């Protein structure tokens, strides 16, 4: 049932192009970019009435929420707050009927997230849930749903379910932007096409990325610590890369916003410390580059994920993983792939139980 793959996680990494396609199919018109999400139960009037959106999730799903904040604020012009569900459920919330609460949960059963949406509902908020499991508790309690349709995920560390959450959240953004007309029809078509095209890019690049990462880890698989850094849309992916590495390889790893390095973590950098920097050619590229140069000046062991053709990166380190240039809003989806493969290959080399890491459960139904 692993279809020739050594682990479910690797199989599921390779299923990601299909997962993206499943999430978006039938929901976006390739001619116009218009998005249809009938099960969301929010019409134009409801959307116009929201002055804030709360995104509530745990773990990897929380990282998806962090990316969605950038997308929704940029294209749908609605202020977004992102909360870790275990914090959301107990803090003093300022919620009323003008707030939309969106829970993001692969399983739809996570205790804290479920308690969070119950509380939001009690306070008058409409609740939408983005979920991979049809009929799960969260989908039954929400006013509307967006199913991710990634297919069952066996590996405890989420891969394809996360990628599908990103695709669903981008659809959600386009849906809001279309109803509110906050971006032109032309721009919506451009964004829609970017989403449609990304599955093909991931599919094409996956085998080559795996080989590149396999070659790279010889020098890194027995390290004790890792840092992951990124700016803008790459920041949540840095967090996700660090989480994936810790949970399956048991290597200590931290993710930071690149601009935060100088506020503390830079003290950790010496010639022993590997730092994975995500540095696509996007609108914050120059800023990210100066952060990377600071790391280089302190002799950190740089691993760079950057854009094909950006030969400047080779002057900074021998360890560069190149990714094709795609629409910049799609970079989080693309840059997740080498981060997943890096943790997978390292954990596998270390002989870890990749699909069932110690102390972790697929569905966290207790708080």
Q: Which residues are catalytic?
A: 362
Rounded CA-CA distance 42/33 in Å is 19
Q: Is 107 in the site for ligand F6R (CB under 6 A)?
A: yes
**Which residue stretch of 42-50, 54-62, 271-279, 292-300 sits at the interface with ligand F6R (rule: CB under 6 A)?**
54-62
Q: Counting beta carbons within 10 angstroms of the beta carbon of residue 47, is it exposed (0 to 12), middle (13 to 18) or buried (19 or more)?
A: middle
DSSP state for residue 106 in the 8-state scheme: S
Rounded CA-CA distance 50/67 in Å is 20
**Which residue stretch of 2-10, 15-23, 104-112, 250-258 sits at the interface with ligand F6R (rule: CB under 6 A)?**
104-112
Which of 214, 236, 239 lies closest to 226 in space, CA to CA? 239
Binding to ligand F6R (CB under 6 A): which residues in 72-91? none
Distant-in-sequence, close-in-space partners of 94: CB < 8 Å, separation ≥ 6: none
Residue 329: CB atoms within 10 Å: 21
Closest contact distance (angstroms) between CB of 44 and ligand F6R is 29
Q: Can you tell me which of 42, 67, 157, 216 binds ligand F6R, judged by CB under 6 A?
A: 157
Closest contact distance (angstroms) between CB of 260 and ligand F6R is 22
Which residue spans within the chain are E strands per DSSP? 52-57, 80-84, 99-105, 126-131, 144-147, 225-230, 252-257, 274-279, 301-307, 320-323
Closest contact distance (angstroms) between CB of 5 and ligand F6R is 18
- Give the nearest residue (CB) to ligand F6R: 59
* Sheet with 225-230, edge to edge strand ranges: 252-257, 225-230, 274-279, 301-307, 320-323
Q: Is 58 in the site for ligand F6R (CB under 6 A)?
A: yes
Closest contact distance (angstroms) between CB of 109 and ligand F6R is 7
Q: Is 340 in the site for ligand F6R (CB under 6 A)?
A: no
Q: Can you tell me which of 23, 101, 106, 164 binds ligand F6R, judged by CB under 6 A?
A: 106
Closest contact distance (angstroms) between CB of 46 and ligand F6R is 25
Q: Is 158 in the site for ligand F6R (CB under 6 A)?
A: yes
Rg, the chain, Cα only: 20
**Which residue stretch of 58-66, 168-176, 308-316, 325-333 sits at the interface with ligand F6R (rule: CB under 6 A)?**
58-66
* Sign of the torsion formed by the C-alpha atoms of 38, 42, 44 and 50: negative
Q: Can you tell me which of 16, 22, 23, 61 binds ligand F6R, judged by CB under 6 A?
A: 61
Rounded CA-CA distance 324/280 in Å is 9
Cβ distance to ligand F6R smaller for residue 139 or 288: 139
Q: Can you tell me which of 110, 137, 148, 258 binds ligand F6R, judged by CB under 6 A?
A: 110
- Residue 323 Cα distances to 65, 197, 314, 351, angstroms: 24, 15, 14, 28
**Which residue stretch of 11-19, 57-65, 266-274, 317-325 sits at the interface with ligand F6R (rule: CB under 6 A)?**
57-65
Cβ distance to ligand F6R smaller for residue 158 or 258: 158
Q: Can you tell me which of 59, 241, 306, 338 binds ligand F6R, judged by CB under 6 A?
A: 59
Q: Can you tell me which of 22, 23, 101, 113 binds ligand F6R, judged by CB under 6 A?
A: 113
**Which residue stretch of 105-113, 188-196, 205-213, 307-315 sits at the interface with ligand F6R (rule: CB under 6 A)?**
105-113
Closest contact distance (angstroms) between CB of 10 and ligand F6R is 15
- Residue 43 Cα distances to 37, 181, 189, angstroms: 10, 13, 20
Q: Is 101 in the site for ligand F6R (CB under 6 A)?
A: no
Closest contact distance (angstroms) between CB of 107 and ligand F6R is 3
Cβ distance to ligand F6R smaller for residue 153 or 310: 153
Helix (H, G, I), strand (E, B), or coil: what is residue 100?
strand
239-267 b/e (C-beta count within 10 Å ≥ 16 → b): bbbbbbbbbbbebebbbbbbbebeeeebe
Let me know: does 203 contact 104? Beta carbons within 8 Å.
no
The footprint of ligand F6R (CB under 6 A) covers: 58-61, 105-107, 110, 113, 157-158, 247, 364
């Amino acid at each position: 049932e692993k279809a020739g793959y050594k682990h479910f996680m690797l199989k599921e990494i390779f299923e990601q192009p299909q997962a993206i396609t499943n999430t978006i199919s039938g929901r976006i018109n390739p001619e116009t970019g218009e998005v249809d999400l009938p099960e969301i139960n929010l019409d134009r009037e409801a959307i116009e009435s929201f002055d804030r959106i709360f995104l509530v999730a745990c773990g990897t799903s929380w990282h998806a929420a962090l990316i969605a904040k950038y997308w929704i604020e940029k294209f749908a012009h609605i202020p977004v707050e992102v909360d870790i569900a275990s914090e959301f459920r107990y803090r003093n919330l300022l919620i009323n009927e003008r707030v939309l609460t969106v829970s993001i949960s692969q399983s739809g059963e996570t205790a804290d997230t479920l308690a969070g949406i119950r509380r939001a509902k009690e306070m008058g908020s409409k609740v939408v849930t983005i979920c991979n499991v049809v009929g799960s508790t969260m989908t039954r309690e929400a006013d509307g749903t967006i199913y991710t349709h990634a297919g069952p995920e066996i590996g405890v560390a989420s891969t394809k379910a996360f990628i599908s959450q990103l695709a669903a959240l981008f659809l959600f953004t386009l849906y809001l932007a279309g109803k509110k007309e906050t971006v032109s029809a032309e721009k919506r078509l451009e964004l829609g096409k970017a989403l449609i095209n990304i599955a093909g890019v991931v599919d094409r690049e996956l085998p080559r990325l795996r080989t590149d990462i396999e070659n790279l880890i010889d020098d890194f698989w027995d390290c004790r610590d890792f840092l992951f850094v990124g700016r803008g849309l790459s920041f949540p992916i840095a967090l996700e890369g660090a989480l994936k590495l810790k949970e399956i390889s048991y290597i200590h790893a931290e993710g930071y916003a690149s601009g935060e390095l100088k506020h503390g973590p830079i003290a950790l950098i010496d010639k022993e410390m590997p730092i994975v920097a995500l540095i696509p050619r996007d609108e914050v590229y120059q800023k990210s580059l100066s952060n990377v140069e600071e790391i280089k000046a302190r002799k950190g062991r740089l691993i760079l994920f950057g854009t094909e053709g950006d030969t400047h990166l080779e002057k900074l380190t021998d360890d560069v993983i190149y990714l094709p240039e795609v629409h910049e809003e799609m970079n989080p989806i693309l840059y997740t792939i080498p981060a997943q493969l890096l943790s997978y290959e390292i954990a596998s080399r270390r002989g870890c139980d990749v699909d069932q890491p110690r102390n972790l459960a697929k569905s966290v139904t207790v708080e």
